[in-house]
Chains A and B, each alone.
Chain A
Amino acid sequence: MSDASFDSQAYENEAQFGDYFALLKPRVMTLVVFTAFVGLLAAPVAVHPFIGFCAVLFIAVGGGASGALNMWYDSDIDAVMKRTAKRPIPAGKVTRDEALAIGLTLSVFACVFLGLATNWLAAGLLAFTIFFYVVIYTMWLKRITPQNIVIGGAAGAFPPMIGWAAATGDISTASVLMFCLTFLWTPPHFWALALFVRMDYDNATVPMLTVTHGRRATRVHILVYTVLLALFAIGLGFTQVGGPVYLTVALVLNALFLKGAVQIWRRDEDASEADNFKVEKSFFKLSLLYLFAHFGAILIEAGLDRMGW
């Protein structure tokens, strides 16, 4: 090609490294890293620091790979929603084939290396998580049921269980309850957001509870999931990862969370609009603190345990 034939327009959308990294959904990865790290450290088996670092890294890469595969499959609906229109594929930076190749390669890499670094139960759980998120959630149920948030939340709830399995080679009551904590937290967290943020899932024909069953039903769902969440979150305090610090945090936060859920349930749309969704917004903010504080408390309990307290 000569300089005379150089067409700068053709290169305007050429991807830089950050565009490929964005395929891995780095913001979602932070939750994966944090909860997997807690699961690993809360386990009653000491893990070599470098092996532990590698385990968390491979779990994060696996989570990122499933994000890339999600963007590959959902590029059509990402293009029509304002929130996702700037993602690398709809923005024209990365092709669908590239995203598929990156997603599949990193999935295999993450599972194989997690198995080699730790054990094959952890690797199997990671492989199942990727399969669940990509095939069961993204390809199958996301577009046909308004319970999609619940199903997607399950995929995001596996990392502490994988971290635990990486350390112990086992699944226990405590690791299952850590899974339940994130799994049951996701619906009230997301549906509270859906109540006060106008989302354009309609344009993408993705069924959302607020639209398919109405906002009243969404408020009821938030309350039901919050009650269930409180039972499991407090129950976790009586397993080997719990203790006085965790129980105190769990009791205080679940009382506040339940109070918020009851307030949301009792309100109608007129009351919410009158104060610009004040209760729903504060409930959403509390939900962010809720998950961080619960896993943070588990981490503190693990630290106290290691120090012999």
Chain B
Amino acid sequence: MGLSNEHEMHRRRRSRNIGVAVTLVAFVALVLGLTMVKVTRGDFEKRPPQAEVSNGN
């Protein structure tokens, strides 16, 4: 039947859907990864102020 034929439009929409899905999953993984790194390094713990180390020339 004609309904089983895939139109070019469907291919394009599938491409968009997959692209958005991959982007969202990557975004979640990124936020999770960043949070884990920051937490394990203790970036969010309160620390006494430290002297800045100059990195200039």
A residues with a Cβ closer than 8 A to B are 3, 8, 11-12, 14-18, 20-21, 43-45, 48, 50-51, 54, 57, 113, 116-117, 168, 170, 172-174, 239-240
Contacts and interface: CB of A to CB of B under 8 A. Distances in A.
Contacts of A16: 11-12, 15-16, 19
A129 to B, nearest CB: 21
Nearest to B18: A17
B56 A117 contact: no
A44 B7 contact: no
Contacts of B20: 17
Contact of B16 (A15, A48, A168, A172): A15
A15 B17 CA distance: 11
22 contacts: A3-B2, A11-B7, A11-B8, A14-B9, A14-B12, A14-B13, A15-B12, A15-B16, A16-B15, A17-B20, A21-B19, A43-B55, A44-B55, A48-B41, A54-B30, A54-B34, A172-B55, A172-B56, A172-B57, A173-B56, A173-B57, A239-B57
A178 to B, nearest CB: 13
B19 A20 contact: yes
Nearest to B57: A173
A44 B55 CA distance: 7
A169 B7 CA distance: 52
Interface string B22-57: 000000001001100100010000000000001111
A168 B55 contact: yes
Contacts of A113: 30
Interface of B: 2-3, 7-9, 11-13, 15-16, 18-20, 30, 33-34, 37, 41, 54-57
B34 A18 contact: no
Contact of B7 (A8, A21, A170): A8
A54 B9 CA distance: 34
Contacts of A8: 7-9
Nearest to B26: A57
Contacts of A21: 19
A51 B16 contact: no
Given A16-B19, A50-B33, 16 more contacts: A3-B2, A8-B9, A14-B9, A14-B12, A15-B12, A17-B15, A17-B18, A17-B20, A18-B19, A21-B19, A44-B55, A51-B34, A117-B34, A170-B55, A173-B56, A239-B57
A51 B40 CA distance: 13
A51 B37 contact: yes
B16 A17 contact: yes
Nearest to B11: A16
A31 B19 CA distance: 23
Nearest to A116: B34
Nearest to A13: B12
A174 B12 contact: no
A21 B16 CA distance: 10
